[in-house]
Structure 1
C-alpha cells in the first residue's frame, strides 16, 4: 500500500513539471526507486499463505488431560487458551515443532498448533496461524514422529511406518499416507531430503538411508544396536544405541555415521533411553537408571553422567545453560553441567507425576503440574525464579511446546 501511494505521488509531481524531458526524467527516477520493491503479484521473502510472519518465536503449549480428554493450546505470547476436540484416554503427546500428536490406545489425533519456525541457516522466520484439529489416524498409536519440510514420518506401536505429505497436513488435510515397506520396528527420521531408517538389516542394528519415497536403500557402515531415541540437531541426527550414540550427518549429498561411545561400561538400565533438548540444540539430555542423568554434548562428542537422585523429567537449553531435573518430590534442581554440582533448587509441586515434563526454549522453561492444574514458567537464568503461573480448569497431564 505504501508503494502505491509513493508511486501515485511521484506521478502527480511529474505531471506538474514543464517540458517532456523533465517529465521523462522524473518518471525514470520513480522507476529507479521501485525496481527492487515487490509488485502486487510478487510474494515477499518468507511469505506463507494464511499465516502471519512475526519477529519473535511464537511459543505455544499443547496440554491434555488424560482422564477427561480435554485438549487445550496455551499461547505463551497472548496467554489465550484455545479449547480443541476432546481425545479420550490420551496416553502420549508428541510434537514435530508445529503439529501435536495425541496417542490414545489404537489411534492418534493430530492438532495443528499454528505456530512454527523456518530455519534458513543464516536467518529464521517465525509464523503464527489459526489453531485447528486436523484429524485422526485410526487403528494405530504413533510411537515416533519426525518431519522435514516435505515429509512427516510416523512409526506406530505395531511396527508400521506411514509417510504423510507435509504440505497437505499444513493445508489442514489428513490425506491417505504411503506405507514404508521393508522397514523394521525402529523409527524413521526425514533428514536432508532422505529417510533415515533404524533397526534395519538382519541383526536389526543397521541404519539405512532411503530416498523420500522409501526406496533406494543404502546402509551406513556404523551400526546402532538396540536403538532407543533420536534427536535432530544442527550437527545431524543422533540415535541412542546400546554402546552410546550414533551421529548421522550429511555433506554434499553423502551420509556418514560416527559413533559417540559412552567411554565406560554402561548397564542396560543405565543407557540413555530417550533424548530431551531444546529444538536444534546440540546438547541432549536423558535419564540414566533411577538416579542419574546423561548429558550428551554432540559438538564435543562427549557424555557426562550427573548423579541427580530419582527424577521424572530432564532438559537443558544447551551450551552454557544449566541441566534442569524435576525430582519425584516435585523439586526442580539446576545443575552446572561442567562441575556436576547443583546450583539452585525450587519446590514447584507436592509431587511430580510420571508424565510431568520440562519444555525449554532460549529464555524460559515450562513444567506441567497436573495435580495443581497449573503450568509453571521458570526463568532458569535467575535462580529458577517462577516468572509466570498459568492456572487451568483441567489437569495438564501431558504437555509439549510448539513454535520451534
Structure 2
C-alpha cells in the first residue's frame, strides 16, 4: 500500500497540472496527445507491475498496488528480456516475442499521464540471432529498435502500431552481421556498422529513409539507453551521446578518464533519468551524467554483477554484489549506505540463472529477482537497503521486468 498512498497524491497533482505544459519528448505524438490509446483508461497513479518469465517461457504479472496476479501467454524461452515500461521484449536466437503488459506512463516532461488496459500478446518478429532491443521514452509514440546479429538486419518498429496490437516497421536496413544495435533517434535511428569482424567499429545516424546523415567512430558499440538528455551508446573508450538539433543528429564522444577501468558494456537507470550506471569488469560502477557529459567511477565494497542508477535527490545507486548482497550507494559521497544479507547467493551460484539477475528501480523501490528461490525482493533503497517485501509470482522470475513506468 506504500506505493498506492504516495503515488496517488503524485498522480492527482500531475493530472491537475496538465494544461499549458510543454510537449512530450517525441516528434511523433499522436493527434490526441498524452499517450491516449483507444480502449485504455487514464488513471490517477502509475499502474506498477512486475512481469516474470520462467525458463520455459511461461509468464505472469503481479500488480504492485493491490497484489493481483495475472497469467500471461507463454513465449519462446528467451535468452534476454527488456522493456520500455509497457512492452516486454523476450529475445531468443530465432526472434523476439512481445508482451503488451497493458500498463504505461506517458512522460510529458513536467508531469505524467498513467494508463491501464488489458495485457495481451503481440505478433512475433522473427530474425537470426538473439536480438538487441533499444527503446525510447514513450511506448505509444516513436519507435523501438531491434537488431539481429546473425543477419545484420536492423529494424525500427512503430510504437503506435504496437499500441494497437500490430507489428509495423518504419525502417529496415541490412548491414554486415555483427554484435550490433539500432536505436531510435527522432524519426530516424543510430545504427552500428562494422567493416569486418563481430564487433562494431562506428555508429551512423540515419534518417527515416535509412540514409546516413553523420557518423562517429565507436569501437565495440553496445549498451544503448535513452535518457531525457539523449541516446547513449557505449564504446570501448567511452560513450557516444546522440541528440537532435532540430531534425539534425548531433553525436558527441564522451571519453573515459585517463587510466580508467574496463569499459561499460551495458547501462541501466530509472526510466528517463539523465545519470546511468554501467558495469565493466565488475570491480566497480561507472556513472555517466548525460547532462554534464562526465564520468564518475564508484568504488564498491565487493565486485558487482549489475547496478542501476536511481538518480534521485539522494543520488542512490542500487547494485547486486557477487556475494549475493543487494547494496545501495550514495553517488555524491561514494559511500555505501546499506546492504542486505546475501539474499541472491544461491541464484548467483547457478550458472543457468546468474546471468538473468537484474535490478529494476522506480521512484520509491528497487526490485531484484532471486530466481533460485522463486521470489522477488522489494528494496527500500532510501532506507539503507531495507527489504520492504518478499514477493512471489505465479511463474519463477528467471527474467523480471517492471512495467507501468
Question: Which category of TM-score, normalised to the shorter sequence, fits these structures?
Answer: 0.7 to 0.9
The yes-or-no answer on 1:107 pairing with 2:107 is no
Alignment TM-score, normalising by the size of structure 2: 0.81
Which residue is 1:63 aligned to? 52
The yes-or-no answer on 1:81 pairing with 2:69 is yes
Give the drift of 1:65.
0.9
User: Greater CA radius of gyration, 1 or 2?
Assistant: 1
Which residue is 1:364 aligned to? 365
2:213 to 200, 212, 218: 218
1:293 to 285, 290, 294: 285
Distance (whole Å) between structure 1 residues aligned to residue 366 and residue 123 of structure 2: 29
Corresponding residue pairs, total:
358
- Does 1 or 2 have the higher relative contact order (CA < 8 Å, sep 6+)? 2
Distance (whole Å) between structure 2 residues aligned to residue 382 and residue 259 of structure 1: 36
What runs of 5+ residues in structure 2 fail to find an aligned partner?
1-30, 349-353
Cα offsets for 1:284-336 (capped at 9, x unmatched)? 11112132211112222221222322222211211433211111222111112
Give the drift of 1:103.
1.9
3-state SS of paired residue (2:160) = helix
Which residue is 2:325 aligned to? 331
- Larger CA deviation: 277-286 vs 68-77: 68-77
The yes-or-no answer on 1:254 pairing with 2:242 is no
Query: Is the contact made by 2:123 and 2:167 (CA closer than 8 Å) also made in structure 1?
Result: yes
1:205 to 179, 196, 201: 201
Q: 1:113-128, aligned counterparts within 5 Å? A: 113-128=101-116
**1:81–1:325 Cα change, 3 Å:** same
Give the drift of 1:275.
0.2
- Larger CA deviation: 108-117 vs 317-326: 317-326
**1:277–1:350 Cα change, 3 Å:** closer
**1:178–1:234 Cα change, 3 Å:** closer
Distance (whole Å) between structure 2 residues aligned to residue 167 and residue 372 of structure 1: 38
2:163 to 166, 170, 175: 170
3-state SS of paired residue (2:338) = strand
What runs of 5+ residues in structure 1 fail to find an aligned partner?
1-41
**1:135–1:47 Cα change, 3 Å:** closer
Query: Is the contact made by 1:184 and 1:204 (CA closer than 8 Å) also made in structure 2?
Result: no
Distance (whole Å) between structure 2 residues aligned to residue 100 and residue 173 of structure 1: 15
Distance (whole Å) between structure 2 residues aligned to residue 176 and residue 238 of structure 1: 23
Q: 1:300-379, aligned counterparts within 5 Å? A: 300-308=292-300, 309-319=302-312, 320-347=314-341, 349-351=343-345, 352-353=347-348, 354=354, 355-379=356-380
**1:332–1:273 Cα change, 3 Å:** same
Which residue is 2:387 aligned to? 386
3-state SS of paired residue (2:269) = coil
2:120 to 126, 132, 136: 132
3-state SS of paired residue (2:174) = coil
Give the drift of 1:359.
0.3
Moved >4 Å (runs of 4+): 42-46, 175-178, 200-204
3-state SS of paired residue (2:292) = coil
What is the Cα-based RMSD across aligned positions, in Å? 2.5
**1:295–1:84 Cα change, 3 Å:** same
Query: Is the contact made by 2:59 and 2:71 (CA closer than 8 Å) also made in structure 1?
Result: yes
**1:333–1:180 Cα change, 3 Å:** same
Which residue is 2:267 aligned to? 275
Alignment TM-score, normalising by the size of structure 1: 0.81
Query: Is the contact made by 2:238 and 2:255 (CA closer than 8 Å) also made in structure 1?
Result: yes
